[in-house]
Structure 1
Amino acid sequence: MDIASIGRINELYHKSQSTGLSEEEKEEQARLRQEYIAAIRRSLRANLNHISIQEKDGSVTDLGKTFGGIKEE
């Protein structure tokens, strides 16, 4: 998701508050919001898959491999 798309989401929101949106603009707004949500979910999943925890015994558990479905290389 690029800055221009986020800017367009904001423009459509402000226009919806002031004058209202046409059907095409409503569809564009819904599509852009879905793309934005998908990008946030991908980012969050990638961050969570790179978390490792050091256990009390000194071993390291890679949570991405344990719970995230990442295959060991």
Structure 2
Amino acid sequence: MLSPDKIERINQLAKKKKAEGLTPAEVKEQAKLREEYLASFRSGMRHHIEGMKVVDPEGNDVTPDKLKEIQKQKGIHNRNDNF
């Protein structure tokens, strides 16, 4: 998770870029912060998706096999059975 200070700095740089432009040092800082933000977002999204269990309207577990295997490896949803 990105710290609130870094998110605030991302927003400051975005506003400054629109208003007056950024210095070369600020452009580099913005790119670095953007990469940190994206890495944090991707990690959180991956964690969220890996924890999902897909169920059809009849209540049957229809989670894709690839996801079941990841969950089994990580011990999520007690995926110890063979599918």
TM-score by length of 2: 0.69
- Provide the rounded CA distance (Å) in 2 between the counterparts of 1:22 and 1:10: 16
Counterpart in the other structure of 2:7? 6
Give 5+ residue unaligned stretches, structure 2: 76-83
Percent identical: 27
Q: Determine the C-alpha separation between the residues in 1 that align with 2:40 and 2:46.
A: 10
Report SS of the residue matched to 2:54: strand
- What are structure 1's unaligned runs of at least 5 residues? none
- Count of paired positions: 71
Q: Which amino acid aligns with 2:19?
A: S
Residues 15, 21 of structure 1: 8 Å contact kept:
yes
Identify if the C-alpha distance between structure 1 residues 38 and 72 changes in structure 2 by more than 3 Å, giving closer, same or farther.
closer
Q: Kindly tell me: are residues 57 and 26 of structure 1, through their superposed partners in 2, closer, same or farther at Cα, counting changes over 3 Å? A: closer
Q: What TM-score results when the alignment is normalised by the length of structure 1?
A: 0.77
Q: Following the alignment from structure 1 to structure 2, what is the Cα–Cα distance between the partners of residues 28 and 2?
A: 15
Instruction: Measure the CA separation in 2 of the matches of 1:16 and 1:62.
Output: 44
**What secondary structure sits across from 1:69 in the alignment?**
helix
Q: Which has a greater percent of strand? A: 1
Structure 1 57/31 Cα, relative in aligned 2: closer, same or farther at 3 Å?
closer
AA of the residue aligned to 2:12: E
